[in-house]
Amino acid sequence: MSEAQSPSYPEIRDAVRRLCADFPGEYWQRLDRDRIYPTEFVRTLTEAGFLSVLIPEQYGGSGLGLGAATAVLEEIHRSGCNGGACHAQMYTMGTLLKHGSEAQKQAYLPAIARGDLRLQAFGVTEPTAGTDTTRIRTFAKKVGDKYVVNGQKIWISRAEHSDLMVLLCRTTPREECAKPSDGMSVLLVDMREAEGKGLTIRPVRTMLNHATTELFFDDLEVPAAKLVGEEGKGFRYILSGMNAERILIASECIGDGRFFIDRATAYAKEREVFGRAIGTNQGVQFPIARAYVQIAAAAEMVAKAARLFDGGQDGGTEANMAKMLASEASWYAADMCVQTHGGFGFAEEYDIERKFRETRLYQVAPISTNLILSHVATHALGLPKSF
């Protein structure tokens, strides 16, 4: 792929739409029904180069910016597909790209770009820590030329379908650190070697087909050469990728919102009750119009956050605001779309109820709305932190 000719990336968007046309609603409904991973869809995206847009050309990727990546994910979701099965590869790869050694980059990035390796698992969240990442307990003890890992992770998506995992763990006890965020390190775990040899993966069935799992580490040995960056600085490495994650998730929400608006608009034009199209009623028109306005406004914030990120600026507040605005706008659009369709909105064949469930996730993950508001209050407004 070449850099598109305008900031909206029309060439990329058109190519993604054409690819997604081969994966209609029936495909996703079948997978959702039985909680099956969309292997064919992920393989097709990989072969088309869409999952390696952020990997520099020297490592076999396209070398494009986050703006291009947001265009890819937005169009995937607007087309009725779902990028949740593979979107982590885009932002998780950033930890390796920014903080990994040259040897690690050469060993993994070209293979990821080719599709020979999948880097889609991100091991951070734990049952007792939740969103307070500084309180994670999974511990990696340095023993000779390896780390021995013990602990537990929860809500880890795609672990069963990933070759590599970026794992955040403690290497120094929290009480021995000057700051709570110190003493954490990042390890690159080879899932193919680890499973059954200290790593147990347990599926967690949820309302979404996101291949969610719980991970248990019992004396898992990871070569010290798989340490990313410096020991004890892992929290900072993870944070550097979280802005990208939030912007990319926000772009998926924009795509979801436009999917719902497209479907509601078409249905309101076609569905006749009492001898006329329901779209002639302002009670139907206005919610659709409001959803359109909210998505358009949120999309501008997503674009701004992506520009800041690509420009190397500190856009943490903008990334958080983009994620909050987009997730709330997509949820409003989802609710509006179901209401417009009435009972048909709950029917599997219309494919709305699936997308309704999928877009609801993003007000909770990867960061909740309340935490975003807390960030804005303390970082943008200078209000005191609450404890």
The verdict on whether 230 is a catalytic residue reads: no
CATH 1.20.140.10 intervals, the chain = 236-380
Distance CA 383, CA 341 (A): 43
**What's the helix, strand, coil split of the chain in %, to 5?**
55, 15, 25
CATH 1.10.540.10 intervals, the chain = 10-114
**C-alpha of 90 from chain center:** 8
Among the CATH numbers 3.40.50.920, 1.20.1440.230, 3.40.50.10190, 1.10.540.10, which is that of 10-114?
1.10.540.10
Distance CA 159, CA 175 (A): 30
Among the CATH numbers 3.10.20.30, 3.40.50.1820, 2.40.110.10, 1.10.3720.10, which is that of 119-231?
2.40.110.10
Omega into 366 within 30° of 0, i.e. cis? yes
Distance CA 194, CA 288 (A): 49
Catalytic pick among 74, 75, 126, 245: 245
CATH 2.40.110.10 intervals, the chain = 119-231
Q: pTM to 2 decimals? A: 0.94
Write out the two tokens for 125. Answer: 């969240």
Instruction: Say which CATH topology domain 236-380 has.
Output: Butyryl-CoA Dehydrogenase, subunit A; domain 3 (1.20.140)
Q: Going residue by residue through the chain (387 aa), what tens digit of pLDDT does each one get? A: 444 344 689 999 999 999 999 999 999 999 999 999 999 999 999 999 999 999 999 999 999 999 999 999 999 999 999 999 888 888 888 899 999 999 999 999 999 999 999 999 999 999 998 778 999 999 999 999 999 999 999 999 999 999 999 999 999 999 999 999 999 999 999 999 998 999 999 999 999 998 999 999 999 999 999 999 999 999 999 887 889 999 999 999 999 999 999 999 999 999 999 999 999 999 999 999 999 999 999 999 999 999 999 999 989 999 999 999 999 999 999 999 999 999 999 999 999 999 999 999 999 988 999 999 999 999 999 999 876
